[in-house]
Amino acid sequence: MVDRQRNDQPGLIDLAVERPVAVTMIVLAVAVFGLVSFQKLPMTLLPRISYPTLTVRTQFEGAAPSEVEELVTKPLEDNLSVIGHLQGFRSVSRAGVSDIVLEFEWDTNMNFAAQDVREKVDQVRPFLPRDISKPLLLKYDPSLDPVMRIGLYGDADLVRLRFQGEERLKKELESIAGVAAVKVRGGFESEIRIDLDENALMRSQVALETIKTRLQEENVNLASGILREGDTEYLVRTLNEFRTVDEIRQLIVATVGDRLIRLGDLARVYRGAKEPDVVTRINGRPSVEIAIFKEDSANIIAVAQAVKSALFGPNWRTTLVRGEYDPSREPKTSPSGSSSSRGGGRKKEEKVVRRLVSTLPPGMALRVLSDQSTFIEKSLDEVKNTGIQGAFFAILILLLFLRNLRSTLIIAVAIPVSVIATFGPMMQFDVSLNVMSLGGLALGIGMLVDASIVVLESIDRVRRDGAGLEAAAVNGTRQVAAAVVASVLTTVAVFFPIVFVEGVAGEIFRDQSLTVVFSLLASLAVAIFFIPAISCRGFSLAGSGTEKRSFAGTLRSCWTDWAAVKSFKGLLAWRRSKPVLIGLAGTVAVIPLQILMALLEFSGRIVWTVAVLVLGLVVAPSILLFRLIRGLLLPIGRVFDAFFRFTERSYGAVITAALRMRLLVVVLSVALAWMAWMEKDSIGVELIPEMHSGEIIVHAPQPVGTSLENTAAITARMEERIRQARDAGRLNLVGYASSVGIARDEVAPAGEGPHTARIFLTLPVGPNMAEAEKQVEDVVRKEFASMAEVGDVAFTSPRLFSFSTPLEIQVLGDDLARVSRLTTRISETLEASGYLEDIQSSLQQGSPEFVVRYDRVLLAEHGVTLAQASGVLRDKIKGTVPTRFSVPDEARKIDVLVKIPDESLRSVDVLRHLNISGDPSQPVRLEQVAEIHQGRGPSEIRHIGGQRAQVLTAKPRGVDLEEATRRIHSDVEALRRSDPLAFEGIVVKTAGQSEEAERSSSALIFALGLALVLVYIVMASQFESLLDPLVIMVSSVFAGVGAVFALAWTHTPASVVVFIGGIMLAGIVVNNAIVLIDCINRLHREGLSRTEAIRRGGMLRLRPIMMTTATTILGLLPMALSQGEGAEIRVPMALTVIAGLATSTVLTLVIIPVIYSLAHQGLDRLLTGPRGGR
């Protein structure tokens, strides 16, 4: 190609080549900003997902589910259903509580939505029952799951364990930066119990209300004012709080004649424990669980490390063995004597650490039950390692192709510079360091050098034509700048349609899209400006060239050719061309600026000199390493050269034959595409691959109404089976823990309560966690199958992408009885099918209950009001807390509970004989004024879209999500045909992840189509042609062919991850076709016939196409082969890109020239007429 002369008006490329110091300083500034941003970026497993969900929770104390539905849920639903941007709503009415979940569109401003919800709730509030609590608005946030669970166990009783966890560990852990809350579960909480003797109360004629009042009146700590005596002010306090339990026992509650009636005469007063709401165990031993929650903006890894440092000391990486602290592994040196880079702050932290460890009494121990940061840290490290390995392979391929260390290093600079420069925009756009964003960087490693390869090749070609170093850098870059920009923009363009992807997929992959775009734009800037600047400076390390510059010559060049001197000479020349006064005034005005420029240039040259010296120190061993690598690669290089020469000869013969048999090539291509189309039906479908972190949760519910004590006893026997299986070698577990019941202050999931239990199994981390988890589930199922008291168990794992269950079958209708019967039939049908497992139904038997119905006439005859009777009944059975007791030496207060003891309430006869009168002189038994019936109501009533509903949830077994959904539809349709009357007025539909997958797939297909349109627009603008871009788009079709075959052969389901890989392919694969078609067009314009231009263009572009393809594929290869944490997400995407790119490249070199030839031949005939032509 004829060398272009440099323009008279210098451009940005000229400026970059002329001012290498300035360019280097800019790159250095960007790198510093990027590194600072990297330190501040939060680390999470996944992007911050804003689930557009609000929950309205209303407490209705003592109301049955049907009453909650009718009086609370329905009025609220009717008013909330008209809120804007509402996609759907569902509700659950349970005993005493109503939950309405509102699902909004993904782009909804949730602050405005929350305000609308509050307004609608306030509108209907006057029409709700008076005794309900104020409705609460809860924002669903999956990041509020505890980041760590710590178990405290030992030989001490559960009261002491609970006290140690709440009063020692909790307070210390809450003071750690980044910790939002610490919640303590399990164990026993202390309280003062006053167990009333009903007979003694009736004999003494003392009312329960009197006891409550006396306890409140006698436990006083009040400020009574200020007394002034002279110049001194005294605070007057009434301090008459109970100091001992005996003081409460000796409290005088009434006087009968001359006899003083003390509380101890009417009740048993003692210090005991509250009725537990949660029972926790670690490896079968009773324990207390400490759940740690992080702040929303906190770095989860930093928070977890700070917590472990506070609990186990700064050497926790050494002293923690399988989650437990081993003091024998502590270093022998004293921590106080070790140096610290953080100075006094570090020493203060070590003091806290020692105090925390010392607060544990002998016999108590801590164990890490779960730690999200471990999986996150390993996942992020795995992504980083695959990225580094990919960069190494990409550079190795470059070295193999170029055989020139200097050229290889120049191109390799694009990788770290582009990656570091990406961190700055990531922080500005609120993108965290997570599996997806780092995966985007790893995916782009091979693509980051493509632009630099093209630019450096062009510079080298112009240099071989005889141009000087600087002229070659400028002109070579100019020649390919437009093509390089268009090539990068085609890849960048495919990520813009991601904004149209709705649902979880769009939220998650936003970070990856932005990261790839930022890195590619950074690599484009590096290729256009930084590569030319350093390609004509610096010394030769290896390879051949006409101008080798020595290290000393490079140092001399740092202090020659001063721009400030040139500028000053230009100023003097300008002064001589102007009148004396004007020239003198202008010179005086500009001299300060000239001095400033000179100082800046002097500083820059110092930095440049230091950089060259440091580079020399680094490069010197690199030269030796390169010579060693070159010696090792020499035989490989010879084999590679021979293989490549054979490939060139073979390709020449293949392209010549293809151009002669164009029709046959097209037929074979169509047949290949048709085979891929038929093969796609064998590929399974799922929403997003499930990530396996080595944690399994076993859900083992008992019948509704089972007490916490009985549920805990059954769970203990289940844990014993797990222990026996582990000791026998049938289960490979690190440990196990259990939690029975739901804490009082916890938002309980639907259907959970004292009858539900969860067993947490922790597996050792291995290469194939999915298979290991499956084996553990099978063994546990077999162990529990022989236990008569254990019903159906379900297995779950932490769901990281979607809050929906894999499969959800909704049965909707107004008649709850008919809906329940049909749900039971569908559940039995699906359980017998064999393709589903862990089938759970929301249709549960209600809690057994005694319903008390008062007769208002009888109440009036006995002088008792309904409120008075129900209040006394509640206080005697449930209990009341009239005051609190200050525990000496513990700086805390505990409840004083007054009630009838549980052991006295063992039958309905006791209930019937309870005195519900407020007047002790006129006792009234409950049976005198009320009827008592035993029954069982529904445990909960669900609504979906305002309709009553029952829900079945399940997981596919041996089939993918799409196939399972299809079979469910088939089985339900068969059931409908066999009994159509059962389905009248009832709607059955599938939801869950299957519904979300369908919605996300539709959005992704639209995004893919839009991406192809954007790519076509960019190419049409580059080629100034409407036909050539259509020819190039054929490469995208054959990329899909390779991806389909790869997914089918590796049995990888098509998921959202695969779709995103396909969208990436749309922008990547066309680059090779662009390079090829551009070269063919240029050769044809130079006078070659179209057939000869096609043949020679393919031969000329074979090497750069293979080079860029090899760097991209090998850059992704470590990701495709990884088996570490989080590989389930990375592997399908990498596999899709590798297979599609490899297939498209091979077919592009043959099929694209054939289609190009046919298209242009048809265009020529169309333009010249039927008898025209060449």
Instruction: Give the per-residue pLDDT at 1031.
Output: 83
The answer to whether residue 374 scores a pLDDT higher than 80 is: yes
Taking only the tens place, the pLDDT of each residue in 271-309 is: 888 888 889 998 888 899 998 888 766 778 888 888 988
| Mean per-residue pLDDT, 427-436 | 83
Instruction: Give the per-residue pLDDT at 803.
Output: 55
937 versus 1087: the higher-pLDDT residue is 1087
Instruction: Give the per-residue pLDDT at 3.
Output: 41
Band (pLDDT 50/70/90 cuts) for residue 580 is low
Instruction: Give the per-residue pLDDT at 197.
Output: 87
The answer to whether residue 637 scores a pLDDT higher than 50 is: yes
Quickly count: other Cβ atoms within 10 Å of residue 591's Cβ: 12
Band (pLDDT 50/70/90 cuts) for residue 200 is confident
The answer to whether residue 657 scores a pLDDT higher than 90 is: no
What string of DSSP letters covers 202-245?
Answer: HHHT--HHHHHHHHHHHSEEEEEEEEEETTEEEEEEEEE---SH
Angle, vertex CA 127, rays to CA 123 and CA 131, nearest 5: 115
Residue 621 burial (CB < 10 Å; 0-12/13-18/19+)?
Answer: exposed
Instruction: Give the per-residue pLDDT at 76.
Output: 93
Instruction: Give the per-residue pLDDT at 956.
Output: 84
The answer to whether residue 373 scores a pLDDT higher than 90 is: no
CA 123 to each of CA 75, 118, 371: distance values in angstroms, whole numbers, following the listed order? 10, 9, 44
Instruction: Give the per-residue pLDDT at 701.
Output: 85
Angle, vertex CA 953, rays to CA 952 and CA 958, nearest 5: 125
Instruction: Give the per-residue pLDDT at 1.
Output: 38
Going from N- to C-terminal start, the domains of the chain cover 1-40+403-536, 53-140, 144-189+277-376, 191-273+867-888+898-920, 549-638, 661-690+992-1174
Question: Which residues is 191 bridged to in the sheet?
Answer: 272
- What distance in Å separates the CA atoms of residue 152 and residue 324, rounded to the nearest whole number? 11
Alpha helices (H) in 313-430, listed in sequence order: 316-319, 344-359, 372-402, 405-412, 414-428
Q: Which fold, 1-40+403-536? A: Multidrug efflux transporter AcrB transmembrane fold (1.20.1640)
Instruction: Give the per-residue pLDDT at 619.
Output: 60
Nearest Cα neighbor of 215 from 897, 1119, 774, 736 is: 897
Taking only the tens place, the pLDDT of each residue in 56-111 is: 888 887 677 888 888 999 999 999 988 888 888 888 887 778 888 888 887 788 88
413 versus 660: the higher-pLDDT residue is 660
Taking only the tens place, the pLDDT of each residue in 606-633 is: 777 777 677 666 666 666 666 676 666 6
| Mean per-residue pLDDT, 363-386 | 83
Taking only the tens place, the pLDDT of each residue in 1151-1172 is: 888 888 888 877 777 766 554 4
| Mean per-residue pLDDT, 165-182 | 85
| Mean per-residue pLDDT, 898-915 | 84
Instruction: Give the per-residue pLDDT at 75.
Output: 92
| Mean per-residue pLDDT, 232-260 | 85
Instruction: Give the per-residue pLDDT at 119.
Output: 92
| Mean per-residue pLDDT, 465-473 | 77
Question: Which residues is 1061 bridged to in the sheet?
Answer: none
Give the right CATH number for 661-690+992-1174 from 1.20.1640.10, 3.40.50.10470, 1.10.1040.10, 3.40.50.11740. Answer: 1.20.1640.10
CATH level 2 (architecture), domain 53-140:
2-Layer Sandwich (3.30)
CATH number of 191-273+867-888+898-920: 3.30.2090.10
- DSSP at 286: E
Instruction: Give the per-residue pLDDT at 544.
Output: 38
Mean pLDDT score of the chain: 79
CA 263 to each of CA 251, 886, 905: distance values in angstroms, whole numbers, following the listed order? 6, 19, 21
Q: How many CA atoms lie within 13 A of 236 on its CB side?
A: 6
Instruction: Give the per-residue pLDDT at 116.
Output: 92
Nearest Cα neighbor of 867 from 267, 211, 58, 62 is: 62
The answer to whether residue 345 scores a pLDDT higher than 50 is: no
Taking only the tens place, the pLDDT of each residue in 108-126 is: 888 888 899 999 999 998 8
- Give yes or no on whether 53-140 and 144-189+277-376 have one common fold: yes
751 versus 803: the higher-pLDDT residue is 751
Q: Which fold, 144-189+277-376? A: Alpha-Beta Plaits (3.30.70)
Phi and psi, residue 330, nearest 5°: -65, 140
The answer to whether residue 536 scores a pLDDT higher than 80 is: no
- What distance in Å separates the CA atoms of residue 794 and residue 139, rounded to the nearest whole number? 27
Instruction: Give the per-residue pLDDT at 144.
Output: 58
Q: Above pLDDT 70, what percent of the chain?
A: 86
